[in-house]
Amino acid sequence: MSETGDADQTNVIEGTEGGPENLSEIDPDTESDVERAARRTPPGKPLRVRDLRKEFGGLTAVDGVSFDIEEGSLTGLIGPNGAGKSTTFDCITGVHRPTGGSVHLRDEEITGLRPHRIANRGLVRTFQITRELTEMTVLENMLLAPRGQRGESLWRSVLPGARGGVRTQERELRDRAWETLERFEIDHLAEEYAGNLSGGQRKLLEMARALLTDPDVVLLDEPLAGVNPTLERKLLAQVHELREEGYTFLLVEHDMDVIMEHCERVIVMHQGRVLADDDPETVRADERVIDAYLGANV
Ligand SMILES: Nc1ncnc2c1ncn2[C@@H]1O[C@H](COP(=O)(O)OP(=O)(O)OP(=O)(O)O)[C@@H](O)[C@H]1O
């Protein structure tokens, strides 16, 4: 069965789909096995992006982006407005089907797969809590693992009809939901409607939901927007702790101080391309980066 063939059996929880372009996978290309092997991720680099492109009509939003992400790292992805950061995230996570290039997660090519398929393989991103989800409690948000997360397959396996151990799996899912809420110190809010949470608490919930399914690689999309300094410290401390446990993070964040202080590596995008990819100090001193930011409406 194709990767997209059974997608409709699941409920759409969030608007992560990029439209008709997601409905099919990228056509198999004609490259040789040797070329294909060269694009796979080497050991210690769970995510490899090669020559990624995305065009919207006549506009090239992502123009040949390549990078590898190190295991257990916190890498920042920055760039002025319109640089192509979100589109890159969307192409990696299957929200958009790339126009060209490839994405590998460990040994597997995930280019053009639908978001939940990619999540099932261990790459997730944080999603904003949508309006429907604000009308559910925090715990319900956790248990209703959103489309595009590994929990979906876990949840499906506890539905009637699944073979054996249904209660055990359901209990495990609940236990993990509680543990994750405790980890982010929002377990006391479990019965609260998500809509009643503060901006910062919602960000913690978004992160908890992404982490619920124990992913390998987590893409954080502006996790600190609207977060007060106390919660910001808490969130960043969690990210560092999780990193030490082996999770790998790629972070899009507009707060440059956070990026420079917390990431060991920074990828700078400008006009759809990678302008610099280095440690924070080197990036900060890079004339091309300074020019790109000075010339842009950041
Ligand atoms: N769905 C779309 N249709 C058409 N153009 C798009 C679409 N999404 C993004 N773009 C365009 O692609 C370019 C890159 O946008 P993108 O949102 O990826 O940049 P960004 O670096 O994330 O910017 P920001 O920091 O402002 O969020 C921009 O010119 C944007 O207008």
Please state, in angstroms and rounded to a whole number, the distance separating the CA atoms of residues 58 and 131.
Answer: 33
Q: Is the pLDDT of residue 249 over 50?
A: yes
Specify whether 60 is located in the same domain as 121: no
Specify whether 200 is located in the same domain as 156: yes
Domain that holds residue 54: 45-73+95-112
Nearest protein CA to atom 24 of ligand 1, as residue: 81
Final residue of a structural domain among 183, 205, 228? 228
* Residue count (the chain): 298
Ligand 1 centroid–CA 155 distance in Å is: 33
Specify whether 118 is located in the same domain as 108: no
Q: What pLDDT does residue 123 have?
A: 95
pLDDT tier at 277, thresholds 50, 70, 90 = very high
Higher pLDDT, 110 or 2: 110
Specify whether 221 is located in the same domain as 123: yes
| Atom of ligand 1 at shortest range from CA of 89 | 18
Q: What pLDDT does residue 22 have?
A: 39
In a domain, 9, yes or no: no
Q: What pLDDT does residue 167 have?
A: 66
Nearest protein CA to atom 18 of ligand 1, as residue: 84
Specify whether 148 is located in the same domain as 181: yes
Ligand 1 centroid–CA 229 distance in Å is: 28
Non-local (6+) Cβ contacts of 85 within 8 A are: 77, 78, 79, 252, 269
Please, where are the H alpha helices in the chain? 33-39, 85-92, 115-120, 131-134, 138-143, 151-156, 166-183, 199-211, 229-244, 256-262, 280-285, 287-294
pLDDT tier at 212, thresholds 50, 70, 90 = confident
Question: Could you give the percent of the chain with pLDDT greater than 90?
Answer: 54
Q: What is the number of structural domains in the chain?
A: 2
- Please give the average per-residue pLDDT across 126-139, as a whole number: 85
Final residue of a structural domain among 228, 259, 280? 228
In a domain, 85, yes or no: no
* Lowest model confidence (mean pLDDT) among 19-33, 78-92, 229-243, 281-295: 19-33
Q: What CATH number should be reported for the domain holding residue 154?
A: 3.40.50.300
pLDDT tier at 4, thresholds 50, 70, 90 = very low
In a domain, 105, yes or no: yes
Pocket test for ligand 1, best of 16, 86, 255 (most atoms within 8 A of CB): 86
Q: What pLDDT does residue 21 have?
A: 42
Q: Report CA torsion sign: 40, 43, 47, 51.
A: negative
Specify whether 214 is located in the same domain as 134: yes
Specify whether 126 is located in the same domain as 223: yes
pLDDT tier at 107, thresholds 50, 70, 90 = confident
Non-local (6+) Cβ contacts of 209 within 8 A are: 126, 127, 141, 142, 145, 146, 149
Residue 298: CB within 6 Å of ligand 1?
no
Nearest protein CA to atom 10 of ligand 1, as residue: 61
pLDDT, tens digit, for every residue of 141-197? 998 864 445 554 444 444 444 455 566 777 888 898 999 999 999 999 999 999 999
Residue 85: CB within 6 Å of ligand 1?
yes
Q: What pLDDT does residue 173 have?
A: 83
In a domain, 293, yes or no: no
Average pLDDT, the chain: 82
Q: Is the pLDDT of residue 10 over 90?
A: no
| Atom of ligand 1 at shortest range from CA of 272 | 14
Q: What pLDDT does residue 36 have?
A: 60
Final residue of a structural domain among 203, 228, 253? 228
pLDDT, tens digit, for every residue of 15-44? 333 333 433 444 445 566 666 666 566 668
Specify whether 213 is located in the same domain as 190: yes
pLDDT, tens digit, for every residue of 41-59? 666 889 999 999 999 999 9
Residue 80: CB within 6 Å of ligand 1?
no
Nearest protein CA to atom 28 of ligand 1, as residue: 82
Residue 87: CB within 6 Å of ligand 1?
yes
In a domain, 250, yes or no: no
Ligand 1 centroid–CA 61 distance in Å is: 6
Q: What pLDDT does residue 12 have?
A: 31
In a domain, 8, yes or no: no
Q: Report CA torsion sign: 91, 93, 94, 96.
A: negative
Q: Give the bridge partners for 68, in sequence order.
A: 48
| Atom of ligand 1 at shortest range from CA of 254 | 25
List the helix and strand counts (H, then E) for the chain: 12, 10
Q: Is the pLDDT of residue 9 over 60?
A: no
Q: What pLDDT does residue 111 have?
A: 96
Q: Report CA torsion sign: 179, 183, 188, 192.
A: negative
Kindly report the backbone phi and psi dihedral angles of residue 38, in degrees, each rounded to the nearest multiple of 5, phi listed first: -65, -25
In a domain, 14, yes or no: no
In a domain, 162, yes or no: yes
Residue 61: CB within 6 Å of ligand 1?
yes
Specify whether 167 is located in the same domain as 118: yes
Specify whether 58 is located in the same domain as 119: no
